[in-house]
Amino acid sequence: MVRVIGFLVGLVFAGVLLISLVVGVSNYFSNPPEELAAEALHQHPQHLRLSSDGPFGKFDKAQLQRGFQVYKEVCSACHSLSLVSFRDLHALGYEEPEIKAIADQWQVQVPSINPETGEASSRKAVPSDRFPSPYANEIAARAANNNALPPDLSLITKSREGGASYVHALLTGYRNQSPELLKEHPDAKTPPGLHYNPWFANLNIAMPPPLTAEGQVTFADGTKGTVDQMATDVAAFLVWTAEPKLESRHAAGLAVVVFLLIASILGYLAYRQIWYEAKRKVRVTGPLEPKNQAKSRSAKAKQGVAG
């Protein structure tokens, strides 16, 4: 009896679930949800080709130096690199005296304590310091940026979908909103103090366009400083800050694959070596042995059975 009642209760539950599923699906198709402007206008970045891509990728040091120059002259006015030290620039090909000079002349001083009075003060950066934030704390940073916080850029290419391609698309993606676009999506109007950028998830970013004019950064190696070039180089630089050991990871991966390949070949040869006698001794026995098959054929023929 209990079983029957349990079965009936279960049946009622399953029936209610089925009805709500059918009603939900039919509602979805009869009144499809309206597309939000942020979904309709949001753009996905095109792939940015960099020399560090792929399993054999290596950094282009000249490009990383140019990217560092863009960070130093433009982005560092708002963004820190809290996981990168000045002395890490050695990997980009800078020598020690150059790194000391870069740290010494950095526009932003690092927080410190006056050893005589014990009061908070600031001092010039040294090579062991990380790239500092220009703001004393988050409140000061938000106050200066329309209540938005400029994120630390050390890991930004890992923390955003698209990585370097996204950073490049964002930096080159600022647009004016055309009247047709506003007529079609009146709710997409950019609020004052923000900037329209269809590559940013909600279309309106608090960061003013940082790269605006050709030649904004004059590259030491003579490369032309177009907006696209500056955006590409700084994106490549931010790939390095997020994964400075990328080249050794690629090299280790390659060595492991080669090792496994050789080990597999040796393993196969060892297998052949060990079993080479044993395989020869295998014989067909039992009903499949040609002798026995002939016997069974003749017995069947005698009895008049086909096959």
Q: Which one, 10 or 208, has the nearer CB to ligand HEC?
A: 208
E-strand ranges in 96-215 read 110-113, 120-123, 130-131, 195-196, 204-205
> Distance (Å, rounded) from C-alpha 88 to C-alpha 99?
9
Handedness of CA 66, 72, 76, 82 (dihedral sign): positive
Q: Which residues of this chain interact with ligand HEC, rule CB under 6 A?
A: 70, 74-75, 77-79, 145, 148, 150-151, 156, 160, 167, 170-171, 205-208, 210-211, 234
**Minimum CB distance to ligand HEC, residue 61 (Å):** 19
Q: Which one, 121 or 202, has the nearer CB to ligand HEC?
A: 202
Max CA distance (Å), the chain: 119
**Minimum CB distance to ligand HEC, residue 30 (Å):** 37
**Minimum CB distance to ligand HEC, residue 20 (Å):** 38
Residue with tokens 């004059």: 218
Contact 218/230 with Cβ under 8 angstroms?
A: no
Buried b (16+ CB within 10 A) or exposed e, 268-296: eeeeeeeeeeeeeeeeeeeeeeeeeeeee
**Minimum CB distance to ligand HEC, residue 84 (Å):** 14
Distance from the Cα of residue 119 to its chain's centroid: 42
Buried b (16+ CB within 10 A) or exposed e, 105-119: ebeeebeeeeeeeee
> Distance (Å, rounded) from C-alpha 150 to C-alpha 80?
9
Q: Which one, 121 or 212, has the nearer CB to ligand HEC?
A: 212
**Minimum CB distance to ligand HEC, residue 145 (Å):** 4
Among candidate residues 102, 99, 119, 101, the one with its CA nearest the CA of residue 111: 119
**Minimum CB distance to ligand HEC, residue 199 (Å):** 9
Q: Which one, 74 or 89, has the nearer CB to ligand HEC?
A: 74
Q: Which one, 66 or 79, has the nearer CB to ligand HEC?
A: 79
**Minimum CB distance to ligand HEC, residue 108 (Å):** 12
DSSP 204: E
Q: Which one, 86 or 166, has the nearer CB to ligand HEC?
A: 166
Q: Which one, 243 or 250, has the nearer CB to ligand HEC?
A: 243
**Minimum CB distance to ligand HEC, residue 229 (Å):** 12
The tokens describing 267, both together, are 């393993």
Q: Which one, 26 or 46, has the nearer CB to ligand HEC?
A: 46
> Distance (Å, rounded) from C-alpha 247 to C-alpha 127?
23
Contacts of 2 (CB under 8 A, 6+ apart): none
